[in-house]
Amino acid sequence: MEYKSCTATIYLQKHRAKDRFEVRYYDLDGTLQRLSFPSRHTATKFADTVVRALFENRESFVTLRGADAYNYRNSLDLLAPTGLTLLQAVMLVADGARLLNGSADIPTAIKYYLENRPQKSPDITVREVVEQLLALKHKEGDVGQLYLRDLRVRLEKFAETLSSVP
């Protein structure tokens, strides 16, 4: 039985003085399938159904061989610990490349991000921030004494208010 390059073969088999008809065909994943039927009519009907179904599903089924099969299998193995599917990983890479717009490759962008982001916020009180800002402004020297006094009064009041909040 053949339908647009998809084939199934029917074999006559005698088993304990009875005729059986075996349908053999290769499934979409390449595995040999074998089914037996009591009559030629049912075997033919099944074979016709199978070859038509194989043809209809063949366009949505991809067979990978050689390097492509190796790359696919390794890609799935590498992605397994991340919990991402292959499609999700490809979408992330495509989005990253689109956002970078040729300005850098993705590993370089990730390395830059990791090197330039704050690793951990420092544990510092508001009062310490106020003291550091006032010391910095005093050290710069290009601000007036009146401005420094006003800044000190306002920021110390601000720090005192925040320190009383639970």
Spell out the domain ranges in the chain: 2-58, 66-116, 126-163
pLDDT reported for residue 65: 78
96 — pLDDT class (breaks 50, 70, 90): very high
Rounded percentage of the chain residues whose pLDDT exceeds 90: 23
Q: Is the pLDDT of residue 163 over 80?
A: no
pLDDT reported for residue 32: 84
Which range in 59-63, 75-79, 115-119 is most confidently predicted, on average pLDDT?
75-79
Q: How many residues does the chain have?
A: 166
Mean pLDDT of 141-157: 87
Q: Is the pLDDT of residue 131 over 70?
A: yes
Q: Is the pLDDT of residue 60 over 70?
A: no
pLDDT reported for residue 94: 93
75 — pLDDT class (breaks 50, 70, 90): very high
Q: By the 8 A CB rule, do 158 and 126 touch?
A: yes
- Integer Cα distance of 134 and 122 in angstroms: 19
- Fill in the amino acid letter for 42: T
Mean pLDDT of 6-10: 82
Mean pLDDT of 144-149: 88
Q: Which residues pair with residue 91 across a beta bridge?
A: none
pLDDT reported for residue 166: 61
pLDDT reported for residue 15: 76
Q: By the 8 A CB rule, do 148 and 139 touch?
A: no
| Better pLDDT: 65 or 47 | 47
For 8-125, where are the alpha helices, taking DSSP H only? 40-58, 66-79, 86-100, 106-116
Transcribe 8-40 into DSSP letters. EEEEEEEETTEEEEEEEEE-TTS-EEEEEESSH
pLDDT reported for residue 8: 83
The set of residues, in sequence order, having a beta carbon less than 8 Å from that of 81 and lying 6+ positions away, is none
From the CA atom positions of the chain, what is the Rg in Å?
Answer: 37
5 — pLDDT class (breaks 50, 70, 90): confident
- Integer Cα distance of 10 and 153 in angstroms: 97
3-state DSSP assignment of residue 4:
coil
